[in-house]
Structure 1
Amino acid sequence: MSFPTYPTYKDSGVEWLGEVPEHWVMGSLKNMAQIRNGRDYKEVESSDGEYPVIGSGGQFSNATQYLYEGESVLLGRKGTIDKPLYINGRFWTVDTMFYTEISKGACAKFFYYNSLTIPFGYYSTSTALPSMTQADLLNHPAAIPTKLEQTQIARFLDHETARIDALIEEQQRLIELLKEKRQAVISHAVTKGLDPTVSMKESGVEWLGEVPAHWNVGTLRWYATIQGGVAKGKDYEGRETVVMPYLRVANVQNGYVDLAEVKEIAVLESEVERYRLRAGDVLMNEGGDNDKLGRGTVWQAQIDPCLHQNHVFAIRPNGLLRAEWLAAFTQAEQARTYFYLNSKQSTNLASISASNVMSLALPIPSEKEQLEILTYLEADRSRHEELTAVAVSTVELLQERRSALISAAVTGKIDVRGWQPPVSTQAPELAVAEVV
């Protein structure tokens, strides 16, 4: 969709802003709003409170009182500084979040969309925690149309961003559906096989259910050994050590090893072989959140020598079991159920012992059938990744389109004064206390 430009422009005097519509007034954000500090919320916090308590990361609590009522744009002071929020209602902000009092001659939603174009990285203080100052926000240059025109621009952007957001949500749902489909394909293939006509038998394991009649079912300890990893924080004072790369839980992802950041650890030279990974080891996480627990992948010796943390198991299959088969099975829903049922839960984290890992019941077809199923799963993985990549790319393009459209509208690069929503649609209305 293309939009007209304004008839005449003038130089804004601001390099990044360029030319702006001739009748727009050059100013700064302080010409449209005043910025106020948030306050401590402890005295008003209550789980029964009806007013949202909002920090730079969004709402995190409720309060019995409110700090401000009406339309406002919330701007991060410290922490998450690049996610302005529009709110209309009663709310409380803490000291990491500024709130604004919109001037009578300004439209709150126009101010919100304008604030989305602030180059926060340019202004942010160079500290460990990104921060913004009131002065930098208030003095940020802005080209300001009349309030009537601001309202029309906001109306246009409400409609168009809602439309784009709906398309983004569609693609994100598709990505989730593709992930679920991939999970279902793995779970079925490694427990039922590829032949829908094959005779089935009870596995004797409740969470595993039926398996093909000609498959074996045995515990993992029959087919592999398990190796624990090196613990951090050992005291080697006065003893000769070597520094080695080692893998952590963060490196062991679902189906692959993430080597973007590999840490190093000092160990005794005599301990290197004890903890050294070998090509073909199946790496499995001992702990983490339930999504990370037990997930496995095959180590291909991308770094050699390399050790592993004590929270990462290295499972070494014998000749009767392919490492790739075990890694695939750990991704099946049935294995996920086993790990969950046999883990020790703590808040949102979990851990599983080496003994419980080795007690995992494993359905095992012949080596020939293992290879056939793994080949099928690899082809399915490729298809899944292609489709997911298209959906992810579409989301990125839509997000870029959304940002570009907002920037073009609030800086006057397009003229939407004559825009009207299509007859078949209605511009969305903002609910009271809605956070955009």
Structure 2
Amino acid sequence: MNLFAETPENWTKASVGTFCEVQLGKMLQNDPSSERDELKPYLKAINVGKEGLDLSHEFSMWIRPQEADRFRLIKGDILVSEGGDAGRTVVFDADGEYYFQNAINRVRPNHQGKIVPEFIYYWFTFLKITGYVEMICNVATIPHFTAEKVKTAPLALPSLDTQRCIARFLDEKTTRIDGLIEKKRLLLEQLAEKRHALISRAVTKGLKPDALMKPSGIDWLGSIPAHWQVIALNKVTTKITNGYVGPTRDIFVPEGVRYIQSLHIKDNRILFGGDYFVQKEWSNLHAKSILALGDVLVVQTGDIGQVAHVTTEHVGCNCHALIICSPRTDLLIGEFLSWALCSDYGQRFLQLVKTGALHPHLNCGNVKYFPVVIPPLKEQAEINVHVRGRIHEHHYAQAQIELSMAKLKEYREAIITDAVKGKIAELR
């Protein structure tokens, strides 16, 4: 990967270590080693935010007097994430006394008056955009952008005036682009709120605004149509069980029975990417987690409360660590149950009954008491058609907004790349 290709001939080509001091942060010290040690604020990888320096997360550790100068941050330092999202970069521009942990590399220009920190920030952003960081970090394992790798990273350096011009230009451009992206992100939030409101109203109030209402008997549910019932989930299902919960390391095969996991459940849809399969014989041995038409799946751990119903497309799949609810077809349509669980009152219930402080999860023994609001089957079907159609419109609008955001992000990356490689004539 030749990152110097197409850069102007009069730019200096070297390594980061030629012009910058690179220092890995201090290993976490939870206790003082002497009475002279002081408890000081420090930064972790989480403070190296995607949107810039994030000081909303506060941490402290003990600093020895002889380490203070070595690990203290000054304005203009460039902070590069060592692990996790390796290569993510911010400029340290905060007031106050801060130190940094060994999840961060500090890049400090050692040629005063020859390097603009903001230019180095954009150069590291370019290194991440191009895939250089990913390539050099060997992401087949846990990626680590070590201090040595940072030092040897290539650096193309124009004159000081050109660095300033490029940094100012990119500050203005990226601020404008980021503002547009933020507006679209807010649109997605508003769309999600409207979607939840639509679902919640349909499954708790029905489609007829003039319907006679009655108290549901549940404070946080309110009134429901007078001819509807409220029945516990275990009374309107033939089965509430778990998907397979054993180890999966040795069960996957290149082709076979599709194996649905929590990562495939999103917004009442099963989004299987063709990535996990098990042998048919294995699936038959674990028949209780084979999916049938109309089953409703609830994510137990991680993104708790994500729900989807099984359509003809996924009948016969097996699944992992999901709660499977099989509705009684004489009382309840699976799709309606899934909308009910996706509604505000359904989500509130699931969050209420989750257990485990460190690793929150749902279990069948609690979920079975979910109070299902049950209209007549004909009305359930009508509500399903109504909600499905409106949600389809929402998903289309969401896809358009996300596509627009992706194009803005691509443009942002392209303009950073062109600027730091000297391809924008007016900035040379």
Deviation at 1:245, TM superposition (A): 5.9
The AA in structure 2 aligned to 1:54 is K
What does 1:30-41 correspond to in 2, within 5 Å?
Answer: 30-41=17-28
What does 1:57-136 correspond to in 2, within 5 Å?
Answer: 58=48, 61-63=59-61, 65=63, 67-70=71-74, 71-89=76-94, 90-102=97-109, 103-104=111-112, 105-118=114-127, 119-125=132-138, 128-136=141-149
**CA contact under 8 A between 1:247 and 1:308: conserved in structure 2?**
yes
Q: Which moved more, 1:332-341 or 1:260-269?
A: 260-269
The 1:272–1:143 alpha-carbon spacing in structure 2 relative to 1, beyond 3 Å, is closer
Find the structure with the greater CA-based Rg: 1
- Cα distance in 2 for partners of 1:339, 1:365 equals 21
The AA in structure 2 aligned to 1:69 is L
1:277 maps to 291
**Bigger relative contact order, structure 1 or 2, given CA contacts below 8 A and separation 6+?**
1
**CA contact under 8 A between 2:72 and 2:98: conserved in structure 1?**
yes
The 1:302–1:99 alpha-carbon spacing in structure 2 relative to 1, beyond 3 Å, is same
Q: Which runs of 4+ in 1 moved over 6 A?
A: 265-270
What does 1:200-279 correspond to in 2, within 5 Å?
Answer: 200-229=213-242, 231-233=244-246, 246-260=259-273, 261-262=275-276, 264=278, 272-279=286-293
2:373 maps to 363
- Cα distance in 2 for partners of 1:305, 1:337 equals 31
**CA contact under 8 A between 1:283 and 1:315: conserved in structure 2?**
no
- Cα distance in 2 for partners of 1:359, 1:69 equals 54
2:323 maps to 312
> For the aligned residues, what is the CA RMSD?
3.1
Report the count of equivalent residues: 391
Please state whether the residue corresponding to 2:195 is helix, strand or coil: helix
Q: Percent identity?
A: 24
Deviation at 1:189, TM superposition (A): 0.8
**CA contact under 8 A between 1:229 and 1:313: conserved in structure 2?**
yes
- Cα distance in 1 for partners of 2:124, 2:180 equals 23
Q: Which moved more, 1:107-116 or 1:256-265?
A: 256-265
Question: Residue 53 in 1 paired to residue 43 in 2?
Answer: yes
1:429 maps to none
- Cα distance in 1 for partners of 2:233, 2:144 equals 52
Question: 5+ unaligned residues in a row in structure 1: which ranges?
Answer: 1-13, 235-242, 419-436
**CA contact under 8 A between 1:193 and 1:373: conserved in structure 2?**
yes
The 1:282–1:112 alpha-carbon spacing in structure 2 relative to 1, beyond 3 Å, is same
Structure with the larger helix share: 2
- Cα distance in 1 for partners of 2:282, 2:360 equals 31
Please state whether the residue corresponding to 1:344 is helix, strand or coil: coil
- TM-score in terms of structure 2 length: 0.80
1:397 maps to 407
- Cα distance in 1 for partners of 2:427, 2:259 equals 60
Please state whether the residue corresponding to 1:351 is helix, strand or coil: coil
**CA contact under 8 A between 2:73 and 2:99: conserved in structure 1?**
no
- Cα distance in 1 for partners of 2:321, 2:5 equals 57
The 1:303–1:353 alpha-carbon spacing in structure 2 relative to 1, beyond 3 Å, is closer
